[in-house]
Amino acid sequence: MSTNYYRRGRNPTTALGVLFIVIGTIALMRQYFIWTEDFVLEFLFNSEFNSEKISVATICVGVFIVLFGLRKHESKR
């Protein structure tokens, strides 16, 4: 086997990021299906903290964790 070959193996960081994205999407879609689109957008863009903004923040954190997990690892020589 080549010494330059890097086997990634399992990546728990990416799995955690995908979990965050799924949880945020489920919460946002639940609100969207219960209420109308205009109602959800009104809560999304007002100045108060609510579940819609927390869901969007959860999705953003999940994307950051996935990108962090997919970065290339350089082994020290």
* Closest to 50 measured CA to CA, from 61, 39, 62: 39
Question: Do 51 and 31 touch, CB atoms closer than 8 A?
Answer: yes
* Closest to 27 measured CA to CA, from 65, 69, 56: 56
- For 13-62, the pLDDT digits (tens) are 888 999 999 999 998 888 888 887 787 778 778 888 888 888 889 999 99
Q: What is the DSSP secondary structure assignment for residue 73, as one 8-state letter?
A: P
pTM over 0.85: no
Tokens of 30: 């639940």
